[in-house]
Amino acid sequence: MNTYLQNLLAEEDLRLINALQIHPRQTWTVLGDVLGQHPTSLAKRWNRLVERGLAWISCHPIGDPNQMSLAFLDVQCEPRTRSRVVRELVAMTDVFSIEECSRARDLMLTVVTPYPTWMTESVYPQLDAVEGITRYETSFCTKLHRGAYDWRINALSKREEASLQRAAPGSPPARGPLPSHYAEIAALLNANGRATAADVAGATGLHPATARRQLQRVLDSRTLAFRCEVAHRAAGFPVVCQWFGRLPATLHDDAARALARLGTLRICASITGTANFMFMMWLRSAADVMEVESYVGRHLPELDLVESAVITNIPKRVGWELDPHGFATGRTVGPGDVWSRLTP
């Protein structure tokens, strides 16, 4: 990683990012008490990180787990059309994330749909209309063992982490209908996970008091999962690798726990297809790829790794468009119809 990227995040930046990973919408006052910083200083530091595309807070729908579908698509395209294909895929609201690689697939897509048949009703027709795509194949997630919301940059002490965990709300989800402007508020929160009632009022035209009530009802519904993201190269993780393997279904949970102990696991899922188990990690160097595979050989001998794919570029992550360095551009193409489909 070049010196420019190495010097972009100071230790205090990493500490703030870590705190927001634990509680993305915690008040600046509470964060200031834990981090030993003035709340105004923390807010200014965060705004600078967001403006530079180094960190951001987004959200994605959780919805009814019996209805919503998480799928991973491998896409092949003609080499000369690759850049244009990526641009068209970035613009699709159903495509949450896009990774470029150089193996048996050209692109890997993460797609979240409000119900399984949405793939055939909406996603596949959109892919079929993209000139240059020659083939795509779908693996459905049968169990998500770990997600990026679990990943931590580990810049805080155990005491500080515990203080933030205690400050997190623990009330059960609120029951009842979702508010009338749910889809608009959810889309705004995807673009700014710390959006306030004033932001909601400005974006929707609602009266400030109504905006405050509706925002709180959206948050209390627990239909959205918030997460603090960071530009992976600037954070010291220039190598992103994804593995595919086969493993007896009874061992998937144990394997996920073993992989999580490495501390670099971004996603781990049971999937359909030739490979029934996949995981992705952020790594410090290419040499760490071998270290991970050696660890798997020692601790998970039953896991047959059939393929590894180094990801060379991430044009889109959970609705956010990224530049070639992995910085947020500020442009979001949110989950679109997923928000509205969650609205009664």
Q: Could you report the per-residue pLDDT of 30-42, keeping only the tens digit for each?
A: 999 999 999 999 9
Strand spans (E) along the chain: 55-61, 69-77, 95-101, 107-113, 133-146, 224-230, 239-246, 265-271, 277-283, 304-317, 320-322, 328-332
196 vs 27, 59, 166, 200, 244, CA distance in Å?
11, 14, 23, 6, 41
Residue 4 CB neighbour total at 10 angstroms: 9
251 vs 105, residue with greater confidence: 251
Q: What is the pLDDT of residue 344?
A: 45
Determine phi and psi for 276, rounding to 5 degrees. -110, 5
Q: How confident is the model at residue 61 (pLDDT cuts 50, 70, 90)?
A: confident
Residue 2 pLDDT exceeds 70? no
Residue 159 pLDDT exceeds 80? yes
Residue 338 pLDDT exceeds 60? no
d(CA 269, CA 295): 18
Residue 337 pLDDT exceeds 60? no
Residue 272: both structure tokens together: 């359909």
Residue 343 pLDDT exceeds 60? no
Return the axis-axis angle of helices 182-191 and 197-204, rounded to nearest 10°. Answer: 120
Q: What is the pLDDT of residue 154?
A: 93
Going by their DSSP bridges, the two strands 239-246 and 304-317 should be labelled as: antiparallel
Q: What is the DSSP letter of 137?
A: E
Return the axis-axis angle of helices 39-51 and 11-22, rounded to nearest 10°. Answer: 100
Residue 306 pLDDT exceeds 90? yes
Residue 283: both structure tokens together: 């790594």
162 vs 22, 159, 305, CA distance in Å?
10, 5, 36
Residue 277: both structure tokens together: 């188990």
293 vs 102, residue with greater confidence: 293
344 vs 132, residue with greater confidence: 132
Residue 336 pLDDT exceeds 80? no
Over the stretch 216-227, which tens digit does the pLDDT of each residue have? 999 998 888 899
Q: What is the pLDDT of residue 183?
A: 86
Under DSSP, is residue 272 helix (H, G, I), strand (E, B) or coil? coil
340 vs 111, residue with greater confidence: 111
State pTM to two decimals: 0.91
CA angle 325, 329, 330 (to 5 degrees): 150
Mean pLDDT in the chain? 91
Q: Which residues pair with 21 in a beta bridge?
A: none
Determine phi and psi for 92, rounding to 5 degrees. -85, 125
